[in-house]
Structure 1
Amino acid sequence: MTVTRRTLTRADLTPLSRAALGRTPATVTRIRGGSKKGVYRLAFEDGTTAVAYVWSPDEDLWDAGPGDPRDPFSHASGLTLFTAAADRLAAAGVRTPRLLHADPTHTHLPADAALVEDLPGGTLEDLLDGDLPAVPKAAALERMAALLDTLHACTGPRFGKVAVVDNGGSSYGGSCAETVVERALSDLDELTAREPRVAAVHTRLTDWTRALAAQVRPRTERPALIHGELGGDHVRVTADGDLALIDIEGLMYFDVEWEHVFLRLRFGRHYDALRTEGLDEDRLRLYRLAMHLSLVAGPLRLLDVGDFHDPEFMRGIAEHNLGRVLTLLENAS
């Protein structure tokens, strides 16, 4: 099934805006980016703005349906996950756009919706690419490193999505590493049917994944609070240079190595400013392979079901990560 987005209009979003702020927006504009929810900027006559999040099946390009939150890697979408994550980050002292109004009862739209503070200054990715010259890169990276220290210093009693663990629940699987391995093997099986280059080395990749997993020692430390997809595009830069996390629905307690593998992939040459001591090298090796596999399988899956605005970009992600998987395999042989 191919999902085609219908852009919501000013008339669609006015009831939510009036409930939250008592005001009618002058204009409504879709913000490009998210693939799991609709994101809209509401502008008012006095020049102020707010952002609406809409978790509608019509806005979700993955066509995945509700995920099982007890699976840490299940589809991270919905108001419940968002509000739980926002509450946990606020308690941790990590900034996110302030929640102005939540509508879980579908009173104003036929879907979960929320209105949040707009932080229109751009993203950390924009800044590092040179598009926000007023903010020094070194200072922003120092703030990002401090944000990570604050985030990762928070721990949970069990691994899993914040919405599950903070409500006393538990996740499937015996450990973070077991969950990662299960997901990696599932991605491998899926890719074998899609991609001949994976099919040709499926047995070798499966054996290598299991061999890497066997080297990971059990961990006694409590799992850390991690964002899960923390690229520079998921960090907003405020007017005063402060940083705020967005797209937070995947917030979970997990091995911090999972976060650092993603950080290294997304921040590239800037990652050295975010590097930390004491990471488990065996976990990093396993999680790096699993992450690359996920970044092949996920984009190909999205292209099958969605109308993502830049399919060539998504194909490029899949191709790049497939190349990394095959290179890592050859270097391990």
Structure 2
Amino acid sequence: MRQFTDSEALSGIVHEALGAGTRVAGVDRLRGGSKKGVYRVRTSGSRVASVIVYSWAESENFWPAAEAVDVTHPFAPASGLVPFLAARRRLDGLGVRVPEVLLADDSRRRHPADVAVVEDVAGGTLEALLKTDPARASTALSELAAMLDVMHRQRSRHYGRVDVLERGDEASGDSCEQLVLERAVADLAEAAERDPGIGSAAASLHDRLQELATRVAPRTQHGLIHGELGPDHVLVDASGHPVLIDIEGLMFFDVEWEHVFLRLRFGDQYPVLSRPGLDPARLDLYMLAMRLSLVAGPLRLLDGDFPHRTLMQEIAEHNAEEALALLVQ
């Protein structure tokens, strides 16, 4: 049975962050995290009514263990306090709103894993706001577009996660497009074993990936991207401003990789985020690669005990259909 962080351990962490007079009134484990535990801790006797606690304990990670992971690879699992703090420093320095950190601790004194106590942003997700208050969501979406402009205009000759580059390491691989192609080929092989439709079209999909890759011209500059930015990874604060979360994967990479994901996740709202000047050859390759990733990844997650199984199955099935549709375009 998987063991999650208990209230007693969270109490000690919250006391340290907010002061000894703080009392824990309740704890809720929030839905959605697959690599870390996310807890809302309600308090009394402190300056804030609640905080969020991130726990990067192994027991909170639902992904099957991978063999021989290259930690410098841009697509290596981005999890832990180090990438979180590096990403937060970079975004905060750019004026991009992220939750305030009240405590960051990797000492393991009060908790058996890296842990952070952060601001509980009160307004919920942009995803929810788009359904309940479209007018307010529209303002936040426009601000998000401006945030992304700031991020994507940051330039680096080197690609890779910001924590990797910050410590002076180089990311593996020859180019962004080559890394995407290699990952897509691996995702295709994995998906072909699990999804009959993908399996039947595996040869055609492989040829299509190779064809699209030959159209991509070399590039020497890369932008700063979130890497997995859907409306569920954007909170809206009490003043209506967007706040980015799940930032551990922040990296310098082709901005087209970001835009492909934005297009998939924001749907009809994507035109607000779209920008001119994107490379159509990269967009074509990255869209097919992203679809295959969203087949293989959810099915891999289902190998374990991830609780929200119907959702993952639906994501895999939908993206398998979309990947196959790209063969006839």
TM-score by length of 2: 0.95
What is aligned with 1:259? 258
Paired with 1:86 and 1:151, the residues of 2 have a C-alpha distance of 13
Paired with 1:249 and 1:116, the residues of 2 have a C-alpha distance of 14
Aligned residue runs from structure 1 range 113-124, under 5 A: 113-124=115-126
What is aligned with 1:307? 306
What is aligned with 2:327? 329
Describe the shift of the 1:150–1:170 C-alpha distance in structure 2 as closer, same or farther (beyond 3 A). Answer: same
What is aligned with 1:157? 157
Paired with 1:156 and 1:13, the residues of 2 have a C-alpha distance of 39
Paired with 2:93 and 2:76, the residues of 1 have a C-alpha distance of 24
Question: How far is the alpha carbon of 1:69 from its aligned partner?
Answer: 2.6
Map Cα deviations across residues 131-154 of structure 1 (whole Å, 9 max, x no partner): x46x62321221111111111112
What is aligned with 1:234? 233
> What SS is found at the alignment partner of 1:183?
helix
Identity %: 48
What is aligned with 2:297? 298
Residue identity opposite 2:57 in structure 1: S
Paired with 1:145 and 1:79, the residues of 2 have a C-alpha distance of 27
What is aligned with 2:50? 49
What is aligned with 1:179? 179
> What SS is found at the alignment partner of 2:170?
coil
Question: How far is the alpha carbon of 1:67 from its aligned partner?
Answer: 4.8
2:40 matches 1:17: no
Alignment partner of 2:129 out of 127, 134, 138: 127
What is aligned with 2:61? 60
What is aligned with 2:83? 81
Query: Which deviates more, 77-86 or 186-195?
Result: 186-195
TM-score by length of 1: 0.94
Alignment partner of 1:102 out of 96, 101, 104: 104
Residue identity opposite 2:315 in structure 1: I
The answer to whether the Cα contact below 8 Å between 1:64 and 1:75 also exists between their aligned partners in 2 is: no
> What SS is found at the alignment partner of 2:76?
coil
Residue identity opposite 1:53 in structure 2: Y
- Alignment root-mean-square deviation, CA: 1.5
Paired with 1:15 and 1:247, the residues of 2 have a C-alpha distance of 24
Q: Name stretches of at least 5 consecutive residues in structure 2 with no aligned partner.
A: none
Question: How far is the alpha carbon of 1:172 from its aligned partner?
Answer: 0.8
The answer to whether the Cα contact below 8 Å between 2:151 and 2:225 also exists between their aligned partners in 1 is: yes
Paired with 1:19 and 1:137, the residues of 2 have a C-alpha distance of 35
Question: How far is the alpha carbon of 1:83 from its aligned partner?
Answer: 0.8
The answer to whether the Cα contact below 8 Å between 2:87 and 2:248 also exists between their aligned partners in 1 is: yes
The count of aligned residue pairs is 324
The answer to whether the Cα contact below 8 Å between 1:157 and 1:165 also exists between their aligned partners in 2 is: no
Describe the shift of the 1:5–1:243 C-alpha distance in structure 2 as closer, same or farther (beyond 3 A). Answer: farther
Query: Which deviates more, 316-325 or 43-52?
Result: 43-52
> What SS is found at the alignment partner of 1:13?
helix
2:136 matches 1:139: no
What is aligned with 1:282? 281
> What SS is found at the alignment partner of 1:305?
coil
